[in-house]
Every structure is written in structure tokens, then in C-alpha cells.
Amino acid sequence: MTELALVTDRSPDLRLPRLLGGISYYSVADLRDHERQHGPLPLWGASGRRRPGRLIDVVDASGLTGRGGAGFPTGRKMRSVASGPGAAVVVANGAEGEPASCKDRLLLTRLPHLVLDGIAVAAHAVGAREAYLCVHGQETDLLGALEHAVAQRRAAGVDPVPIQVTGIPGRYVASEQSSIVGYLNGGPAKPAFAPPRPHQRGVHGRPTLVNNVETLAHLALIARFGDRWFRGIGLPSAPGSTLVTVSGAVARPGVYEIEMGTPAGQVVMLAGGPAERPAALLVGGYFGAWLPAGTAWPVPMCHAALKAAGGAMGAGLVIVLPVSSCGLAETARVVRYLADENAGQCGPCMFGLPALADAMADLAYHGGRRRALERVASLAGLVAGRGACRHPDGAVQLVRSALRAFEADARRHDHRGPCPGVARAPLLPVPGDADWDWA
Amino acid sequence: MNYELRVNPIACDGYGACAELLPEIIELDPWGYPILLSASVPPGLAGHAKRAAAACPTLALLVDKAP
């Protein structure tokens, strides 16, 4: 239905990179670099082919889904916000909560105008009069750089609405969308009991579009090159490209742009291949799931295929666990972190997650009494689905996937005690974990 | 009229009154927080469900009309 690319004075033939085209490791792309790379942001009028409703049609037709973790269709979300009462609000979520994820940070630090273009496009499409770009408040350098970029755009007159750069508390659950909305409304940055959801009543009680910054960056290119261009790569069911952060036992850890549907194993090879024989992949991050390496290798990186394989796409993380590491010990450390990061709001999460973390640590580091495994499984059942947000569910999904992917090892731990892998240096980054060298 | 039960987990402080008044549907976990055995309220228990909701000190138990 929406056949023509709306504004294309240049339609790149290259499949990839799209978002990361022209990126420099060393410097920030300023507005001039950005426009040289992608062309100016087309000005969308109030009527005709470039009216806001038409823009949403294009986003719908593009098949873009949220790149923050949930994978919800972006066009549908925009439509529900646009149809709400009164002027809407756009919130760009750049507060990357996943400790192992770097993609949002990469976009914000190197290609801020791609994200800011996306905010402008989203604001136009949903009829917003204000927009916020939220990042972790303790990252003062980033806040300063983004404010500079916004000022540059203000001087050039590119944005239809004022964009306010806002620092939010740097906790895991603070980047949940209802937490951000709560914080922008002057409350604590903690998840809220839904409904109403942000798209119904969010910032200042207005319909609020909360999008991940990578989603918005894609929007910036879809507004330029159209939905057909976007669907030109990736899968018909999951089109376009996506950013992934590959780490763990790989030769070249980092952020890569891939076509949606690229097999997980190929993503590992893109990062230089395994540095050691891989035992399992953690796909989707700390709210994702462990998959045995052999199972994960051919699975296409998209929400549907990973879910069918027992995993999750999350925010596009792939972490390679070598055979010499212990997946249970890694999981125990992450669950401890997630337990510490609970918002202290919901009883089952407040008490259940620390108990689950204790049980997981017992299984990983002590075991041998044939009791730990059963306790982990029963606590997981008690915690799942009982919080206001998905924080406890994410932790449970990780634990359950560990028990499946490392089934034999879990039995061995439970019956005979820890495997030699627990002595290995930790692999998964956990903030505050003294053993982890963040450099 | 059919009713559905929800717990607002943020408001709930684990007083446990609901499990006393509606043991047919509500159990307590090891920390004293309610577990709903079923979201829908059997027709005969609608009155008890409403009474349990009204008795919650933090108004965390919600009885909604089923859609």
C-alpha cells in the first residue's frame, strides 16, 4: 500500500551498515557530518503525502519493532499515542539498563543526531509538543554532549519541538518505561502498577510515546528512505537491521549492525568467532536466556525464532560462554545483581529474588546435598509473574533457561558439588562486582 | 455478573487479610504475600471477594467486573 519511498534523493544500495554508516570510533558526528552521511531530515508538512498520519502509515508498513527489548510494533504504538486525547509527549529511552549492552551508548555518544532526528520524526508523527531524551544521570559527559547536539539543532532550526535532555537515576529498573514516566512526573524512578500505561496517560498525564533510542534512529532513516527501503533487508516477518552487542569469549567483542534474522552463530563469527570452545550463548541479555551453543548457532536473531528456541531477543545481546566457565555460577552472580536491583516495591520481588539468588548461589558454589536444584525451581515458580513490572519474570526466565541449558551440570552440582568452572574469572559484567574489571 | 481479582503488588504490604477472608482463591507465599489461585471469582464467592477487597488495609486487592 505504501509503495513509494517518500523522500529519497539518495537510496543507499549497500545492505549494511545503515545506522552505523560513517561512524567514527574516535569522534562524535556533528550535525554537518550527520547530514553529509544521510542527507537532511525531510520536513514533513501538515497535509498531503507528508502529513503525520501518513508518516505513521509508513512506519507501520516498514514493520519496525521496538529495539529496546519488547519488540512491539512501533507503528502501532505511535498510532495509539497519536489517537489519545490532546498533545502527546515523546520520550527517548537512552538509559540502557543491561550491563552487557553498549549499543544505545554507542549511538548516543557517536551518532546523536540520528537519535535526535528520530525524536523529531516521532514527535511530528504523534503530534507531540515536547520531547525528552533520557540517559543515566551519572553520565555527565554524555549529558553535556547531548545538550550540545540539541543546541546545535536549535540553532539550525531542525526540530519541530523542543527536546529536553534529562538524566535519570542509574538503576536497572529505572529504565523501565513506567519508571521513566514516573520520574519525569516528579516521582521516584520506579515501575508503576498498570494500567494506565504510558501510551494512555504518561508524562503530565498526556499520551506518551516511549521508544528506545535505537528504534528512533531507525525511524530517522525510515522517514528519509521509506518503508520499502527498510524492508529491503532482514526477514519479511522481522525486517530491517538491528544493533547487537557481542561479548564474552569472542575475539572482537563489540557492537555490530546485523540484518534481522542473521543466525546467532554468524553473529558470533562477525565478532571474530569464539575465543574458546563455546558451551552456551546468553542471548537477549540478563532478561534473556541461555541456549546451548549447538542449539543457538543456527537460530535467526529475531523475536519469534529466538522465543521458539526457548530464548529471547531482548535488546540484542549475545554473550559467548566458553566450556571452561560455569554457566550456573555466572547465572548466580547475575541473579544476585538483579535481586539487589529490585525497586523494593513488590513483596514477591523484594523477598523472592534475594531468596532465589541465595538458592542459585548455593547450587553453583556449594551444592552436593541434592537440595539446591529443587529449591531453585520452586522459588522460581513463586516469583514469576508477581511483580508490577517484568523484573522478577526476567530473572526467573534466566534461571530457568540456565537449568535447561546446563541441565547435566546442574545435576552434577546438586549431587556432587561445584564443577571446576566456578573457579574461573567471572565472564558476565555485573556492576559492583569487585572481581570484574570494567576497563 | 462475573468478577475478576487483581493484586496491586506495589500497594500490597502482606497483611494477609485477604487470605483469611477468601481462602478458596487466595494463598500466602512464604513471605506473606497473596497468591491468586484463579483470577476469576466463582459466582458464589463474589460477596466474599468484595468483602476481602474492602478489608485490605492498603486497598491492594482489586475486584473488577469481568469484561
ipTM of the complex: 0.92
pLDDT band of B1, cuts 50, 70, 90: confident
Best residue of A173, A342, A351 to probe chain B, by most B CBs closer than 10 Å: A351
Q: Does the N-terminal peptide bond of residue A195 adopt cis geometry, omega within 30 degrees of 0?
A: yes
Angle at A297 between CA A294 and CA A303, to 5 degrees: 120
Q: For residue A47, what pLDDT is reported?
A: 55
Phi, psi of A121 (to 5 degrees): -65, -45
Q: What is the mean pLDDT of residues A165-174?
A: 85
* Higher pLDDT pick, A50 / A156: A156
Residues of chain A with CATH 3.40.50.11540: 31-231
Share of chain A above pLDDT 70, in %: 93
Q: For residue B67, what pLDDT is reported?
A: 80
CATH number of the structural domain A241-322: 3.10.20.600
Confidence check: pLDDT of A103 > 90: yes
Confidence check: pLDDT of A174 > 80: no
CA atoms of A425 and A418, how far apart (whole Å): 15
Alpha carbon of A356: minimum distance to chain B alpha carbons (Å): 13
- Looking at CATH, the fold of the domain delimited by A31-231 is given as Rossmann fold (3.40.50)
Q: For residue A49, what pLDDT is reported?
A: 59
Amino acid, res. A250: V
Given B9, B11, B13, which is nearest A348 (Cβ)? B9
Confidence check: pLDDT of A424 > 60: yes
Residues of chain A with CATH 1.20.1440.230: 327-423
Which of these CATH numbers, 3.40.50.2300, 3.30.70.20, 3.90.79.10, 3.20.20.150, describes B3-61? 3.30.70.20
**How far from the centroid of its chain's Cα atoms is residue A27's Cα?**
24
Q: For residue A53, what pLDDT is reported?
A: 84
* Contact: A193, B30; criterion CB under 8 Å: no
- What mean pLDDT value characterizes chain A? 91
Q: What is the mean pLDDT of residues A148-165?
A: 94
Please list every residue in chain A whose beta carbon sits closer than 8 Å to the beta carbon of residue B16: none
Give domain limits for chain B.
Answer: 3-61
- Taking CA atoms, A291 is separated from A226, A403, A404, in Å, by 36, 10, 8
CA atoms of A72 and B48, how far apart (whole Å): 39
Please list every residue in chain A whose beta carbon sits closer than 8 Å to the beta carbon of residue B31: 347-348, 351-352
Q: Are A52 and A126 in contact (CB under 8 A)?
A: yes
State the pTM of this model.
0.91
Q: What is the mean pLDDT of residues A305-330?
A: 95
Domain A327-423 has CATH 3.40.50.280: no
pLDDT band of A48, cuts 50, 70, 90: low
Q: Are A254 and A300 in contact (CB under 8 A)?
A: no
Please list every residue in chain B whose beta carbon sits closer than 8 Å to the beta carbon of residue A384: none
CA atoms of A248 and A254, how far apart (whole Å): 10
Please list every residue in chain A whose beta carbon sits closer than 8 Å to the beta carbon of residue B38: none
Strand order in the sheet with B40-41: B40-41, B3-7, B61-65
Given A352, A355, A388, which is nearest B10 (Cβ)? A388
Q: Are strands B26-28 and B34-36 parallel, antiparallel or unpaired?
A: antiparallel
* Residues 6 through 65 of chain B touching chain A, CB cutoff 8 Å: 8-14, 29-33, 35
CA atoms of A299 and A311, how far apart (whole Å): 10
